[in-house]
Structure 1
Amino acid sequence: MPMSFNLNVIEEFRANGGRVGGPFEGGDLLLLTTTGVRSGRPHTVPLGFVRAEGLLLVVASAAGAPEHPQWYRNLLAHPVVRVELGTDTFDAIAVPAEGARRKRLFDAVLRKAPGYGDYQAHTERELPVIALERPEAPPGQPREVRSLADKLLEAHTWLRAQLRHVRAEAQAHVPGRPTGLGLQLRQHCLAFCEGLTHHHTGEDSAIFPALARSHPELAGTLERLGEQHRAISRIREELVALLAGVEITEPERLRTELDRISAELEAHLDHEEAELLPALAGIPFPPVRPGPAGP
């Protein structure tokens, strides 16, 4: 679609709580924001969607064009995406389906939106079917974030959930067999690594310096945690390298190495919580901005 047309649809969508006119009137539409492969900037597109098997699905059809749309190439590099659905906005992990699962989901899409069959007929490429997975808050997680301690736990809970995804999928994945888990495993791994990098960057650049000023007694702890972050960066690179060869790595070695890497990452998260939660519990989040000075 022309960029100007997309921009008009996006503006209308946001101004009217997800309702638009024109060719999309009455249809199921969402806005998907990905991160550009080369630019690193957000890129938003309006897309039709289908709900099937409890999943929120989009199809990288590009109206049957011979090449995948740019937003699909973006999410392969950066799986964490932003979804706007009606008046709801949330982060999701974009996981393309493979093999038999892709065929089953595409058939489910066609039952609700048969036009995608016409798009498939006009191109030799297999149209990707992508599930937009919305992480659910597990029991016990604070649903309302009121302090930096809550925010830290929220981030750590998300990271642990992605680790569980990766380990569970590694247990089920058998190289050379049509399990359809290779790409799913890769996407969750990348999501975890991106999330961890973002989390540590935020701590190193903002949270730790602020804590050092307000709690000078934590200076030594914060310095050690910063050193751990650099060590964790190495472990993260090991994880990426391990899963890059998921289709050829011997299954037992994959699981053994993944267990070791996961244990080190979990230990870091546990240690960070033990050291920081007491200090962070008294710091409101979002930060309280001082009001205007009185007369």
Structure 2
Amino acid sequence: MTFTERNRPIVEEFRGNGGKVGGFFAGTPLLLLTTTGSRSGEPRTAPLAYQEDDHGRPVVFATNAGSDHDPLWYRNLVEDPRVTVEIGTSTYTATAIPAHGEDRDRLYDRMADASEAFAGYRERTARRFPVVVLYRVDERRENAIGAELARIHEDLRTALGDLLEVAAFGGGPTPTLLEQLRVRCLTVCGDLESHHGKEEGVFPRIERLYPALAPVLDELRRQHTVLAGMRAELESLCARADLDPEERRAEIERMTVAIDAHFADEERRLLPVLDVVDPAALRAPA
């Protein structure tokens, strides 16, 4: 029996009974957490026991009943922190952010004090259970920083498409076409450099607010380093008059695909965080 099949009766009972269930979970504060499958891309719903933190936010615990491995729902939200939460008859979008350090320990200790099962899970494995806080997204408030990031990405995608279109000319490149290509390339590369420079300034502030996101931010920094090399390569390609047009177009297309993949990864990992962070905190000194 798969994880989904095992959970289906509980999920159906929860939804059909106003968020209440019997059996093993009877009397336990329970929520449904829907993540996006990291491999399938399909929604995956898990019933989870939870507690609230000091701010009334639900907190869930990736114990996997004391297994040596993280549960699938946790692996999913590491890849895409945008989740759906159901508590009682309420359903809302949230951003799942792991707690860190003393906050993580305090939250788990509180759950272990309230539940013998959670206290016992620690005896079954040496794994340090992730503790995840679910930050509700206020969809009435448009986060200017997240919206700006998405807008910049779309502008850069359009500019890269224009650049690829100019690079696709047939026959021998004329001076006019080469100059047009050079100007567009310099514009795209300059915008990329400025965009990533601004992001690098925001990353330390996010890391200070949510230390557990450090591995995600480190991966995005690594991608920025790779893209900086591509930017230099792109400038070189656009400056060469002796290059075969088809070869130039193919190389620009290859780099366009890689840059777009970075944008998609950044939007999946970063935009949900920007949806719940106070914009003023991102403007504060790092």
TM-score by length of 2: 0.54
Name the structure 2 match of 1:144.
none
Matched residue type, 1:171: R
Distance 1:97 1:12 in 2: 30
1:236 Cα deviation (Å)?
3.5
Distance 1:7 1:235 in 2: 35
Contact 1:173 1:181 (8 Å CA) reproduced = yes
Matched residue type, 1:170: P
Distance 1:44 1:78 in 2: 14
Name the structure 2 match of 1:226.
none
Contact 1:52 1:109 (8 Å CA) reproduced = no
- The 5-angstrom pairing of residues 239-250 of structure 1 reads none
Structure 2: any 5+ residue segments left out of the alignment?
151-199, 221-256, 271-281
Q: Equivalent residue of 2:109, what SS? A: helix
Select 2:213's aligned residue among 176, 183, 192.
Answer: 183
Contact 2:33 2:45 (8 Å CA) reproduced = yes
Contact 1:29 1:49 (8 Å CA) reproduced = yes
Name the structure 2 match of 1:283.
none
Q: Please report the RMSD computed on the Cα atoms of aligned residues, expressed in angstroms.
A: 4.0
Deviating above 4 A after TM superposition, structure 1's stretches of 4 or more consecutive aligned residues are: 160-163, 166-169, 232-235, 237-240
Matched residue type, 1:30: L
Distance 1:184 1:162 in 2: 19
- The question of 1:159 aligning with 2:146 is answered yes
Structure 1: any 5+ residue segments left out of the alignment?
142-153, 191-229, 244-257, 260-295
Contact 2:38 2:79 (8 Å CA) reproduced = yes
Q: How many residues align?
A: 185
1:69 Cα deviation (Å)?
0.7
Q: Equivalent residue of 1:121, what SS? A: coil
- The 5-angstrom pairing of residues 126-141 of structure 1 reads 126-136=128-138, 141=141
1:27 Cα deviation (Å)?
1.3
Matched residue type, 2:30: L
Select 2:62's aligned residue among 57, 60, 63.
Answer: 60
Q: Equivalent residue of 2:122, what SS? A: helix
TM-score by length of 1: 0.52
Select 2:84's aligned residue among 82, 85, 89.
Answer: 82
- The question of 1:171 aligning with 2:198 is answered no
1:105 Cα deviation (Å)?
1.7
Distance 1:182 1:99 in 2: 9
1:235 Cα deviation (Å)?
8.2
- The 5-angstrom pairing of residues 1-295 of structure 1 reads 3-54=4-55, 55-136=57-138, 141=141, 154=142, 157=144, 159-160=146-147, 170-171=204-205, 173=207, 181-183=211-213, 186=216, 233=260, 236=263
Q: Equivalent residue of 1:122, what SS? A: coil
Determine which structure has greater relative contact order: mean sequence separation of CA pairs < 8 Å that are 6+ residues apart, divided by chain length. Answer: 2
1:97 Cα deviation (Å)?
1.4
Matched residue type, 2:146: L
Point out the structure with max Rg over C-alpha: 2
Distance 1:234 1:37 in 2: 15
Inter-CA distance 88–110: structure 2 relative to 1 (3 Å threshold): same
Matched residue type, 1:68: D
1:103 Cα deviation (Å)?
1.2
Inter-CA distance 60–235: structure 2 relative to 1 (3 Å threshold): closer
Q: Equivalent residue of 2:128, what SS? A: coil
1:181 Cα deviation (Å)?
1.1
Contact 1:95 1:184 (8 Å CA) reproduced = no
Inter-CA distance 162–31: structure 2 relative to 1 (3 Å threshold): farther
Distance 1:108 1:69 in 2: 21
